């Protein structure tokens, strides 16, 4: 079969870069390879799963196109390409060359147009399948029965393939060619295609259903009413132009012979040196086997094991058709290749056999299949179990099955193993099926062993077991993201295989990770902190917190008034109205009309730069800038919290249930999402008002317990600096005591400004604040004066610079730093040749042990307090963890008991050489209690 894959190179490069933006990949020399790594991984996965006969990668060039002539502002609102991505771009061509894949580009034409032209030509010239590999929705206009969109999968999911029906459903249109009419009306903010103001997707869908095309709508504009008629009539030319801009060309004059796009087996001798140069350890091992090493010369590598060589010989006998001859290295075993015994326990007899097996084994891995990813909305479809490799059970959900399994889950002598176990525990809790006994999560284990790698089950199976799992997209190819899953049409045996395989793989991974936890020194963190924390988080997430939407609405009304006042102030200062949210219009006002600076900074696209950093530097020059910054802050506050939080209220419980993540941060701190309650601002008055909306149950009170200056106390303990320790031991105000030392005055005479400076230094030092940074933050001292303050601080507290130097030296020698409890953060950039990257790693070497110890400490406190509340028989419940603070629903009559056990649990969580203080408050809302 002739199948052509056309890759949108730029879109895939951006996708790869930003997929790793929170944990970028660097070489030991400090070169960011995130885009190269992700791009290469996508390429390999595409060849492996798509099996193309012909393939090409298509890129844009920097030359302007016809679209820029039609609309000079086309794509003008795009952020400039990140420097790390720009540096990586030339190497994508090298990767393509190593894989013997042609790269196509042509000045004056976008990659979209080249792909459209080649796809159209390939269909006319007899190709069976043509796939446009891109995440860009605009390509939907090109889809036919043989031309399809191919969106690479994310986070272990399979690729999404969009044909005619999928495109029509996604856009709500009758024909795929109406994609350009949709864009003509709605516009496209990504490409700065304006469309018709005030017309969104839903309105456009209705208009096209009635009038078919943009031209049809304009011919009948008199039938529209009110403002809609006015907007369409006034923007008719803009709608026509927008449609033209959105139309992908199919007649680009590019000469390409199909034979030049045939996929041939690449030479390993070309690929290995690149993987060595970019230090692709994991990717190299996945392709070339565990003997791959970036330290060795490519010619010395043992690329294949004996089994791999046999597989290579077998693969060489397959008919020619573009298969990649690296297949022996990147092909993993699948379920069909493994002798396995998966049974379905759907009778009483089978259930009894399963229960006997689980009890006699003394431990089992399990997984749950549900109709949704939110435990509060999900229905249980069934459970899978495994007690030994390549063997397992699938149990369809029923009251009989749950009754039989409850005693096993509740048996504290039986070990339970899962992957992303918090979800499964929450699902079982909703089924009144509590889980007791040791519970081990392979996702948490791997996050401690390899914190910078991906932790999803599919990837781990490939990396550690050389096994490719059944993808969910194979089981339910028509599943819509975010919609409830309907398993009624899924073949029962296929579902049993999919589910049981997950339990089987999880069990095998646990056997692999157990010794690695010991080898990596992370066993105590896993067994004493992360694992006992699981049921605590499940209970907190289930409990949720009450939100007073009336309070939020009132805060929103106040904010709206403040935002309107700021807009008026900006308009008055500018001398005219304009779109404050348009970087282009804002730049025109600030730099062409008000002329705030002689030589304003510009982005790569030629626009004036108006980001927060630029505006902050201009604040002293004109009052309009301060108003603009406050306008942005309040607008973000309103959209992110005021408008969004009410949508997070669970319709059944009437409460907000955030989800905590244990593996998302490098320091070990918990993350919060759906919604994120840890980022609610507390420094601004408006931000603090949002906390008023979080309230207790009717008749109850909120109690908030906060570690007082915990990171400074940990710093004092780690540095053993006598000056800091003495100040804390004597209960002095630490910032006043610091100011007295660095300004050499009596504590009684320390001024407010001196205390503020000392506070800035105290909090800045652990993060490696420089003289320049301190001067900027204070705003009242020169860089020289700031350096003098820092030098004097170090002179008065000599234990601190000694600690900082020792941490950096230790990190250079070991490659990692650790918390008091032993949690590690690997700093692979600590010896980087890039000064900026190395400096960031050096700062992490100093502050991670401090931040990480604080994270370990509050996790240990949560475990202690949770069990203390249960043991004491209190009704009060722990609701939230936000940074160094715990928030509780305080039942009537329990304040004294709760204060006592919370204080004890938090103070005794970790023994340090510095006294620990807990600040506790109560109130009728979170702000009042804090």
- SS3 of 3, please? strand
Q: How far is CA 833 from CA 755, 804, 829, in A?
A: 38, 20, 9
Asked whether residue 343 carries a pLDDT value surpassing 80, the answer given is yes
- SS3 of 343, please? strand
Among 860, 887, 878, which Cα is nearest to 705's? 887
Q: Are 881 and 869 contacting, i.e. CB atoms less than 8 angstroms apart?
A: no
DSSP code of 188?
B
Among 701, 706, 704, which Cα is nearest to 893's? 701
Residues whose CB is less than 8 angstroms from the CB of residue 34 and which lie 6 or more positions away in sequence, other chains included: 16, 17, 19, 20, 21, 24, 25, 84, 88
Asked whether residue 331 carries a pLDDT value surpassing 60, the answer given is no
Query: What mean pLDDT is reported for the chain?
Result: 88
Please identify which residue in the block is written with the tokens 């920097």: 62
318 CB-contact burial (10 Å; exposed 0-12 / middle 13-18 / buried 19+): exposed
CA 633 to chain centre: 23
Residues whose CB is less than 8 angstroms from the CB of residue 620 and which lie 6 or more positions away in sequence, other chains included: none
Q: Is residue 60 part of a domain?
A: yes
Give the domain CATH number at 620. 1.20.1060.10
Residue 438: band (very low, low, confident or very high) from pLDDT cuts 50, 70, 90: very high
DSSP code of 873?
T
The pLDDT assigned to 682 comes to 79
Q: Please state, in angstroms and rounded to a whole number, the distance separating the CA atoms of residues 706 and 711.
A: 12
Residue 292: band (very low, low, confident or very high) from pLDDT cuts 50, 70, 90: low
Q: Are 793 and 761 contacting, i.e. CB atoms less than 8 angstroms apart?
A: yes
Q: Please state, in angstroms and rounded to a whole number, the distance separating the CA atoms of residues 680 and 687.
A: 7
Give residue 896's region: left, alpha or beta (phi > 0; psi -120 to 50).
alpha
Least confident of 211-215, 293-297, 495-499, 802-806: 293-297
Q: Are 381 and 497 contacting, i.e. CB atoms less than 8 angstroms apart?
A: no
Question: 493 and 468 share a domain?
Answer: yes
Question: 238 and 280 share a domain?
Answer: no
- What is the CB-side half-sphere exposure of residue 155 using CA atoms within 13 A? 3
Q: Please state, in angstroms and rounded to a whole number, the distance separating the CA atoms of residues 11 and 109.
A: 15
- Cβ atoms within 10 Å of 523's Cβ, excluding its own: 17
Among 454, 422, 517, which Cα is nearest to 823's? 517
Among 694, 656, 695, which Cα is nearest to 676's? 656
User: Which of 853, 876, 908 is where one domain is finished?
Assistant: 853
Among 637, 649, 639, which Cα is nearest to 549's? 649
Residues whose CB is less than 8 angstroms from the CB of residue 871 and which lie 6 or more positions away in sequence, other chains included: none
pLDDT tens-place string over residues 452-499? 778 999 989 988 898 999 998 888 888 777 778 888 889 999 999 999
Q: Are 19 and 135 contacting, i.e. CB atoms less than 8 angstroms apart?
A: no
The C-alpha R_g of the chain, in whole angstroms, comes to 30
Question: 157 and 9 share a domain?
Answer: yes
Q: Is residue 910 part of a domain?
A: no
868, containing H or E segment: helix 835-871
Domain interval for residue 841: 711-853
- Listed in order, strand segments (DSSP E) in 105-232 are 129-133, 147-151, 160-162
Bridge partners (DSSP) of residue 881 are 886
Asked whether residue 313 carries a pLDDT value surpassing 50, the answer given is no
The pLDDT assigned to 158 comes to 67
Question: 211 and 277 share a domain?
Answer: no
Number of domains the chain is built from: 5
Give the domain CATH number at 522. 3.30.420.10
Residue 893: band (very low, low, confident or very high) from pLDDT cuts 50, 70, 90: very high
pLDDT tens-place string over residues 223-253? 998 888 998 999 999 999 999 999 999 999 9
40 CB-contact burial (10 Å; exposed 0-12 / middle 13-18 / buried 19+): buried
User: Which of 789, 820, 853 is where one domain is finished?
Assistant: 853
DSSP state letters, 76-140: TTSPPPPHHHHHHHHHHHHHHHHTT--EE--TTS-HHHHHHHHHHHHHHTT-SEEEEE-S-GGGG
The pLDDT assigned to 293 comes to 59
Give the domain CATH number at 780. 1.10.150.20
Residue 319: band (very low, low, confident or very high) from pLDDT cuts 50, 70, 90: very low
The pTM for the full model equals 0.71
The pLDDT assigned to 616 comes to 83
Q: Is residue 876 part of a domain?
A: no
Is the pLDDT higher at 887 or at 826?
Answer: 887
Q: Please state, in angstroms and rounded to a whole number, the distance separating the CA atoms of residues 183 and 138.
A: 8
Asked whether residue 710 carries a pLDDT value surpassing 90, the answer given is yes
Q: Please state, in angstroms and rounded to a whole number, the distance separating the CA atoms of residues 247 and 148.
A: 17
The pLDDT assigned to 483 comes to 78
Residue 266: band (very low, low, confident or very high) from pLDDT cuts 50, 70, 90: confident
Question: 251 and 268 share a domain?
Answer: no
Q: Please state, in angstroms and rounded to a whole number, the distance separating the CA atoms of residues 89 and 360.
A: 57
User: Which of 233, 259, 285 is where one domain is finished?
Assistant: 259
Percent of the chain whose predicted confidence (pLDDT) is above 70: 93
The pLDDT assigned to 155 comes to 52
Is the pLDDT higher at 865 or at 452?
Answer: 865
Q: Please state, in angstroms and rounded to a whole number, the distance separating the CA atoms of residues 382 and 431.
A: 12
Q: Are 15 and 38 contacting, i.e. CB atoms less than 8 angstroms apart?
A: yes
Q: Please state, in angstroms and rounded to a whole number, the distance separating the CA atoms of residues 543 and 658.
A: 10
Q: Are 929 and 922 contacting, i.e. CB atoms less than 8 angstroms apart?
A: yes
User: 187 φ, ψ to 5°?
Assistant: 75, 180
Q: Please state, in angstroms and rounded to a whole number, the distance separating the CA atoms of residues 889 and 111.
A: 57
Q: Please state, in angstroms and rounded to a whole number, the distance separating the CA atoms of residues 57 and 52.
A: 13
Q: Is residue 884 part of a domain?
A: no
The pLDDT assigned to 786 comes to 87
The pLDDT assigned to 288 comes to 67
Q: Is residue 583 part of a domain?
A: yes
Q: How far apart are the first and last CA of the chain?
A: 67
Bridge partners (DSSP) of residue 704 are 887, 921
Q: Is residue 930 part of a domain?
A: no
Please give the average per-residue pLDDT across 358-374, as a whole number. Answer: 96
Q: Are 288 and 329 contacting, i.e. CB atoms less than 8 angstroms apart?
A: yes
Q: Is residue 403 part of a domain?
A: yes
Residue 322: band (very low, low, confident or very high) from pLDDT cuts 50, 70, 90: very low
Question: 435 and 458 share a domain?
Answer: yes
Q: Are 858 and 909 contacting, i.e. CB atoms less than 8 angstroms apart?
A: yes
Q: Please state, in angstroms and rounded to a whole number, the distance separating the CA atoms of residues 786 and 761.
A: 10
Residue 770: band (very low, low, confident or very high) from pLDDT cuts 50, 70, 90: confident
Question: 739 and 768 share a domain?
Answer: yes
Among 256, 319, 330, 278, which Cα is nearest to 43's? 330
Q: Please state, in angstroms and rounded to a whole number, the distance separating the CA atoms of residues 149 and 143.
A: 7
Residue 518 tokens, joined:
């010991």
Residue 615: band (very low, low, confident or very high) from pLDDT cuts 50, 70, 90: confident
The pLDDT assigned to 299 comes to 29
The pLDDT assigned to 314 comes to 32
Please give the average per-residue pLDDT across 338-344, as a whole number. Answer: 95
Question: 300 and 436 share a domain?
Answer: no
| 640-644: long-range pairs with CB below 8 Å, 24+ | 641/552, 641/680, 641/690, 642/552, 642/555, 642/556, 642/559, 642/690, 643/556, 644/675
Question: 829 and 813 share a domain?
Answer: yes
Q: Are 193 and 187 contacting, i.e. CB atoms less than 8 angstroms apart?
A: yes
Question: 290 and 375 share a domain?
Answer: no
pLDDT tens-place string over residues 528-546? 999 999 999 999 999 999 9
Q: Is residue 429 part of a domain?
A: yes
Question: 555 and 531 share a domain?
Answer: no
CA angle 60, 64, 69 (to 5 degrees): 135
Least confident of 62-71, 131-140, 602-611, 766-775: 602-611
The pLDDT assigned to 289 comes to 63
Please identify which residue in the block is written with the tokens 């590999």: 133
- Cβ atoms within 10 Å of 722's Cβ, excluding its own: 13
Which among 149-158, 521-530, 724-733 has the top mean pLDDT? 521-530
Q: Please state, in angstroms and rounded to a whole number, the distance separating the CA atoms of residues 667 and 641.
A: 26
The pLDDT assigned to 44 comes to 87
Query: How many residues are present in the chain?
Result: 930
The pLDDT assigned to 218 comes to 93
415 CB-contact burial (10 Å; exposed 0-12 / middle 13-18 / buried 19+): middle
Question: 117 and 237 share a domain?
Answer: yes
The pLDDT assigned to 317 comes to 31
Q: Please state, in angstroms and rounded to a whole number, the distance separating the CA atoms of residues 567 and 392.
A: 64
Percent of the chain whose predicted confidence (pLDDT) is above 90: 63
Residues whose CB is less than 8 angstroms from the CB of residue 65 and which lie 6 or more positions away in sequence, other chains included: 108, 109, 110, 113
User: 564 φ, ψ to 5°?
Assistant: -65, -40
Residue 346: band (very low, low, confident or very high) from pLDDT cuts 50, 70, 90: very high
């Amino acid at each position: 079969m002739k199948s052509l894959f056309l890759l949108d190179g730029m879109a895939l490069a951006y996708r790869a870069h930003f997929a790793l933006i929170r944990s970028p990949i660097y070489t030991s020399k400090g070169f960011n390879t995130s885009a190269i790594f992700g791009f290469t991984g996508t390429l390999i996965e595409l060849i492996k799963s798509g099996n193309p006969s012909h393939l090409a990668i298509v890129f844009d060039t920097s030359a302007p196109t016809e679209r820029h002539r039609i609309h000079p502002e086309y794509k003008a609102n795009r952020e400039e390409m990140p420097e790390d991505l720009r540096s990586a771009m030339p190497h994508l061509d090298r990767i393509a060359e190593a894989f013997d894949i042609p790269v196509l580009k042509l000045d004056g034409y976008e990659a979209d147009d080249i792909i459209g032209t080649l796809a159209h030509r390939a269909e006319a010239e007899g190709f069976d399948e043509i796939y446009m590999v891109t995440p860009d929705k605009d390509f939907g206009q090109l889809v036919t029965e043989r031309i399809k969109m191919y969106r690479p999968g994310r986070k272990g999911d399979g690729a999404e393939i969009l044909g005619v029906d999928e495109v029509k459903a996604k856009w709500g249109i009758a024909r795929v060619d109406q994609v350009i009419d949709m864009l003509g009306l709605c516009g496209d903010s990504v490409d700065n295609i304006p469309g018709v103001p005030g017309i969104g997707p839903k309105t456009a869908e209705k208009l096209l259903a009635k009038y078919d095309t943009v031209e049809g709508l304009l011919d009948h504009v008199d039938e529209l009413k009110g403002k809609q008629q006015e907007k369409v009539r006034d923007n008719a030319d803009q709608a026509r132009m927008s449609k033209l801009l959105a139309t992908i060309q199919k007649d680009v004059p590019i000469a390409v012979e199909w034979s030049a796009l045939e996929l041939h087996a690449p030479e390993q001798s070309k690929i290995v040196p690149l993987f060595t140069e970019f230090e692709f350890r994991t990717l190299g091992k996945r392709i070339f086997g565990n003997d791959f090493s970036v330290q060795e010369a490519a010619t010395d590598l043992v690329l294949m094991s004996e089994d791999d060589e046999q597989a290579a010989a077998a693969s060489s006998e397959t008919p020619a058709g573009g298969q990649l001859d690296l297949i022996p290295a990147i092909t993993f075993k699948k379920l069909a290749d493994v002798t396995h015994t998966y049974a379905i326990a759907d009778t009483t007899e089978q259930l009894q056999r399963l229960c006997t097996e689980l009890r006699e084994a003394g431990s089992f891995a399990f997984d749950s299949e549900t109709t949704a990813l939110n435990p509060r909305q999900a229905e249980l479809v069934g459970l899978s179990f495994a007690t030994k490799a390549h063997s397992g059970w699938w149990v369809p959900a029923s009251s009989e099955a749950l009754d039989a399994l409850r005693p096993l889950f509740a048996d504290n002598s039986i070990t339970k193993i899962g992957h992303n176990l918090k979800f499964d525990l929450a699902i079982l809790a909703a089924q009144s099926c509590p889980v007791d006994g040791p519970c081990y999560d392979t996702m948490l284990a791997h996050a401690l062993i390899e914190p910078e790698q991906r932790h999803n089950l599919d990837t781990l199976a490939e990396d550690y077991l050389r096994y490719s799992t059944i993808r969910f997209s194979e089981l339910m190819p028509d599943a819509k993201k975010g919609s409830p899953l309907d398993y009624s049409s899924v073949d029962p045996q296929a579902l049993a295989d999919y589910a049981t395989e997950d339990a089987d793989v999880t069990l095998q991974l646990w056997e692999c990770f157990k010794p690695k936890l010991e080898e990596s020194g992370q066993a105590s963190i896993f067994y004493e902190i992360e694992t006992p924390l699981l049921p605590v988080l499940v209970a907190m997430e289930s409990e949720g917190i009450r939100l007073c939407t009336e309070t939020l609405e009132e805060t929103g009304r106040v904010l709206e008034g403040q935002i309107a006042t700021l807009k008026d102030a900006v308009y008055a200062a500018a001398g005219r109205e304009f779109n404050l949210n348009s970087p282009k219009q804002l730049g025109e006002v600030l730099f062409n009309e008000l002329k705030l600076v002689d030589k304003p900074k510009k982005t790569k696209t030629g626009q004036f730069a108006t980001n927060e950093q630029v505006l902050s530097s201009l604040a002293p020059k004109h009052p309009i800038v301060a108003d603009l910054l406050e306008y942005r802050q309040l607008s973000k506050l309103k959209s992110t919290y005021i408008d969004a939080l009410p949508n997070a209220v669970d319709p059944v419980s009437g409460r907000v249930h955030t989800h905590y993540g244990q593996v998302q941060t490098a320091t070990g701190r918990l993350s919060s999402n759906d919604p994120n309650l840890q980022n609610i601002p507390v420094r601004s008055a408006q931000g603090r008002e949002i906390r008023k909306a979080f309230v207790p149950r009717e008749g109850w009170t909120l109690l908030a317990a906060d570690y007082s200056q915990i990171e400074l106390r940990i710093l004092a303990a780690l540095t053993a600096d006598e000056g800091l320790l003495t100040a804390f031991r004597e209960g002095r105000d630490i910032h006043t005591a610091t100011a007295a030392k660095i300004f050499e005055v009596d504590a009684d005479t320390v001024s407010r400004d001196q205390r503020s400076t000392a506070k800035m230094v105290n909090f800045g030092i652990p993060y490696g604040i420089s003289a320049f940074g301190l001067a900027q933050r204070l705003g009242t001292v020169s860089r020289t004066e700031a350096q003098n303050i820092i030098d004097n601080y170090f002179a008065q507290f000599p234990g601190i610079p000694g600690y900082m130097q020792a941490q950096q030296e230790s990190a250079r020698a070991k490659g990692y730093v650790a918390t008091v409890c032993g949690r590690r953060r690997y700093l692979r950039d600590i010896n980087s040749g890039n000064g900026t990257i190395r400096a960031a790693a050096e700062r992490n070497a100093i502050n991670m042990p401090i931040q990480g110890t604080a994270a370990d400490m509050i996790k240990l406190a949560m475990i202690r307090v949770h069990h203390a509340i249960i043991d004491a028989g209190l009704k009060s419940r722990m609701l939230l963890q936000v940074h160094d603070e715990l928030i509780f629903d305080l039942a009537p009559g329990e304040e004294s008991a709760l204060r006592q056990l919370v204080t004890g649990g938090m103070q005794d969580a970790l023994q340090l050489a510095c006294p620990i203080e807990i600040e506790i408050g109560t109130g009728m809302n979170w702000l009042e209690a804090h």
